[in-house]
Structure 1
Amino acid sequence: MTATEQHTPGQAVPGENPRHRSAEEIGRTAAGPRPLPPLGPTRAVPLPDVEERTLDSGLRVLVAHRPGVPMVELRLRVPFAGDEPTHPAVSELLASTLLTGTTTRDRVGIDDELAAVGADLGVNVDPERLQIGGHGLADGLPDLLAVLGDVLTGATHPDAEVTRERARLVERISLARSQPRTIAREALQRKRFGDHPITREMPTGDEVTAVTAEEVRALQAASLVPRGSILTLVGDIDTSAAIAQVEKALGGWTSDAVARELSPPPAIRADDLQLVHRAGSVQSQLRLSAPALRRHDPRYAALQLANLVFGGYFSSRLMENIREDKGYTYGAHSGIEFVPQGAVLGVETDVASNVTAAALLETRYELGRITAVPPTDAEVEAARSYAVGSLLISLDNQGGLASTLAALAADGLGIDWLRAHPARLESVTTAQVAEAALEFLAPAAFTGVVVGDADVIGAGVRALGGISD
């Protein structure tokens, strides 16, 4: 370089390796930090029309044309409630063995036939429903439906498969029941819903061990029925042709019975938190719950935003307090959970035993603060942007749309509710969010559980009051 040549810091010099600028250098100018550009307007995700048909069997079919990729998503929801104490165990084994063989296909044959059209199917069950979900190539929909129809009408639940899956299920249950989150979930369900069947989310190992293949086959014949069930298809498919394919493939799935819906659980009552002893635990699980609103309620959008401001996303008040400021936890969350004919609020976090009382105090403090110090315009706008944006992102693929349509249909809602919801969120005022927070997030509305080593955390949490053993 000659004496007259000059270069600025960070600029590449001929013959030398270029120096990468630091993030601080990139983010600053001579006048100071670079200002962040404003957020642009949220772009709406176009939602397709949904063609609906109820077949002679009573099966309700929803089909939406969503091009983009040559795939189709499938969701079948069958109401699957039962009052018998053995029902959860038999249901779990039915779900585990449903795809293991029919009168015309064995397990390998089912897998091969699905793989040939780039498809798969999975089954899960809970106290409310049995769900079959999957996807495949759009032009392979007839083959996917043919396998589904065969499974629904001809699953044999072979003795050997039931024996094998029973052993696997017992092992999984044993592992799950040792997990703190499972213990906390079961304790919370009992606290808020008593002995209602909705609390029976996981059978015991002994209950599963006692199930026979005959009981599994009998439950399928009695309860896996089309009347009252909902099949949702979303993908690059012709809607009318898809319905005709469903009629052809599932025409033999018939029954005079009606799929059994779970009865509404009792309303949550405000009460002391229950201290659940878990000997030797080095962590505690805080689980609080209160009544909420269904999607049908005109105040639902306001409650959704109030929940986000409180604890529903990373920038919430609860996260800012007990994670960012206090360092008590890696994460804290609040959300709305839907139950038959209702909804509940949940607040949860896991903390070290030595800060359990402090974390509970701060959680209660934030519940009180959001009622006494209402959300600001800035907080509501941030929550609104997150709510609208995350909803649109979740719908920007076939699988997300299929799952959302299936959940809404089970709740008596449809695509029109989904189309209108972003506008509902945009129209909510800060005052309406404050009203929802005052009504639903008041500390006095909650009950719940604190799970941990009572010998370690008991004195601290009892000193706060509102704790029972």
Structure 2
Amino acid sequence: MTRVTDSTRAHRTAEEIGRTARGPRPLPPLGETRSVPLPAVATQTLRSGLRVLAAHRPGVPMVEVRLRVPFAGDEREHPARAELLSSTLFTGTAARDRVTIDDELAAVGADLDVGVDPERLQIVGSGLAAGLPAVLGVLADVLTGAAYPDAELARERDRLVERIIVARAQPRTIAREALQRKRFGDHPIVREMPAGPDVAAVEAEQVRALHAAALVPGGSTLVLVGDIDPQAAIAQVEQALGGWTADHPARELALPPALVPGDLELVHRAGAVQSQLRLSAPALPRADERYAALQLANLVFGGYFSSRLVENLREDKGYTYHASSGVEFVPGGAVLGVETDTATGVTAPALLECRYELGRLSMVPPTAEEVEAARRYAIGSLLISLDSQGGLASTLSSLDADGLDIDWLRDRPQRLQAVTTEQVAEVALEFFAPSRFTGVVVGDAEVVGAGLRALGGIG
């Protein structure tokens, strides 16, 4: 018998492989979605006001750390000082310099990173579970005694100014800042990136004063997830961070104003070869009973690659490589966002198609097949995101900030499964109507302005 080798077998294209004499090969049915067991979460508020959540999630001998501190400020200089504080928090204390901190963390396979935005300061990291006491020791020393050495702060200040200059030249940054101003006016939530001159003017004493006043435990949350004993971990936190105290709580960001529908703002960017389209409308917070239906409606519209918006703008028209929509949570609520970047020459047609798809979702509701595909994607991606220690820790921290807990997360797949096609159609009609939106278009106004104004709705 002659053996057919790879070199003698005729090559078949993907289309040929996918077809038979009777037509295309049918796709096999999708199997049942598997659940991801979620652990019990031990919760305790320490005397300092720090709220600690700890969960046992074995698999790898690691522990994930998420510290969230409300970090709002009204002053114009606050974002610059907060950004510089986050950049230099781990540069030294009275007992440890930067190298010592790095060495102690590395000895237990740990790393800790700091980030800040108008709402919160977050310390995120991981390390060997057996090294948790060492990680907490470093964290406690930094929280209670960060020194912000003059030389370290000056060096980081210069780097930060350079990074801001580069970032502010990026079209996406320009579009984000314009959209935030359009949505929330002069509310502190819009100050996501400080101005370079403000950063250059910050002195070390101002950073130290901000630390003392704002980096406090009351109202803060520490989440630990990993191969740990939850009660023992909470006891370790209480012992290590017992000296982190203050006579006032951390400052929460005030509620931003409600988003008001209206004309889009055209933001001129001379010589731009691309335009950034950013649309936004009010949405629902996670705790709302209709949020699951809104999530599915959003997926059908533009929330994943198989959505209507992507099919239209990318696959059919070729106007863009990327288009998406999603829900962004803000204090007291949420906003819906639609975004795409497109070539200057097709800016107006791309906006027309965005509006068309919004109207079509309202007037031509998602089909049962579209809803079912979105449902499977939503449940599957949720379970995948929770399958790791880090994913679970980040989700618990985010939910806790909204007053939700592990039970909300545990019931999430069932709530998504229970949503009907009719419920998705109802929220699509209410929340995706084009008249509910406002936003910005960033591009060369001399080139795109006439076409956009011909469409109407451009301020």
Aligned to 2:180: 189
Question: Is 1:291–2:282 an aligned residue pair?
Answer: yes
1:39 aligns with 2:33: no
What do the CA deviations read for 1:108-137 (whole angstroms, capped 9, x no partner)? 000000000000000000000000000000
Structure 1 equivalent of residue 416 of structure 2: 425
**So what's the TM-score if we normalise by structure 2?**
0.98
Q: Does 1:12 align with 2:1?
A: no
RMSD, aligned CA: 1.2
Aligned partner letter, 2:43: E
Taking the aligned partners of 2:247 and 2:32, their CA distance within structure 1 comes to: 52
Q: Deviations over 1:372-419 (max 9, x none)?
A: 100000000000000000000000000000000000001000000000
Q: Distance in 1 between matches of 2:188 and 2:399?
A: 22
Q: Does 2:372 match 1:381? A: yes
Residue 120 (1) aligns with residue 106 (2): no
Determine the C-alpha separation between the residues in 2 that align with 1:455 and 1:351: 16
Bigger CA radius of gyration = 1
- C-alpha change, 1:208 and 1:308, in structure 2 (3 Å) is same
The CA distance in 1 between the partners of 2:397 and 2:353, in whole Å, is 38
Q: What SS does the corresponding residue of 2:411 show, helix, strand or coil?
A: helix
Classify the secondary structure of the residue corresponding to 2:285.
Answer: coil
Q: 1:60 to 1:281 in 2, by over 3 A?
A: same
Deviations 1:261-302 (A, max 9, x none): 001100001110000101111110000000000011100000
Counterpart of 2:316 in structure 1 is 325
Distance 1:34 1:309 in 2: 26
Map 1:306-317 onto structure 2 (within 5 A): 306-317=297-308
In structure 2, the residue corresponding to 1:78 is in which secondary structure? strand
| Shift in CA distance, 400/26, structure 1 to aligned 2, threshold 3 Å | same
Shift of 1:32: 4.2
The amino acid of 1:127's aligned partner reads: P
- Partner Cα distance (2:364, 2:20) in 1: 38
Residue 447 of structure 1 aligns with which residue?
A: 438
Kindly state the Cα deviation for residue 25 of structure 1 after the two structures are TM-superposed: 4.8
Q: 2:136 aligns with which of 110, 128, 145?
A: 145
Q: Which runs of 5+ in 1 are unaligned?
A: none
Q: In the aligned structure 2, how far is the partner of 1:282 from the partner of 1:457?
A: 11
Q: Give the letter aligned to residue 9 of structure 2.
A: R
Residue type of the partner of 2:225? V
Q: Which amino acid letter does the alignment assign opposite residue 110 of structure 1?
A: I
CA shift for structure 1 position 35: 2.1
The superposition leaves residues 145-172 of structure 1 with CA deviations (integer Å, 9 ceiling, x where unpaired) of: 1000010001000000110000000000
Aligned AA (1:34): R
In the alignment, does 2:224 pair up with 1:233? yes
Instruction: Find the partner of 1:401 among 389, 392, 398.
Output: 392
Report how far residue 21 of structure 1 moved: 4.5
Gap regions ≥5 residues in structure 2: none
Shift of residue 31, structure 1, vs aligned partner: 4.4
The aligned residue for residue 75 of structure 2 is: 84
Aligned residue number for residue 262 of structure 2: 271
SS of the residue 2:123 aligns to: strand
| Deviations 1:20-53, CA, capped at 9 Å, x for gaps | 7534454344544432210000000000000000
Aligned to 1:204: 195
| Amino acid corresponding to residue 91 of structure 1 in structure 2 | A
Q: Distance in 2 between matches of 1:32 and 1:300?
A: 41
- Counterpart position of 2:93: 102
AA partner of residue 198 (structure 1): I
2:150 and 2:416 map into 1 onto residues whose CA distance is: 52
Matches within 5 A, 1:255-270: 255-270=246-261
1:119 is aligned with what amino acid? A
1:438 is the counterpart of 2:434: no
Structure-2 residue corresponding to 1:157: 148
Of the candidates 433, 442, 466, which is equivalent to residue 457 of structure 2? Answer: 466
SS in structure 2 of the partner of residue 467 of structure 1: coil
Identity of aligned residues (%): 75
1:251 to 234, 242, 246: 242
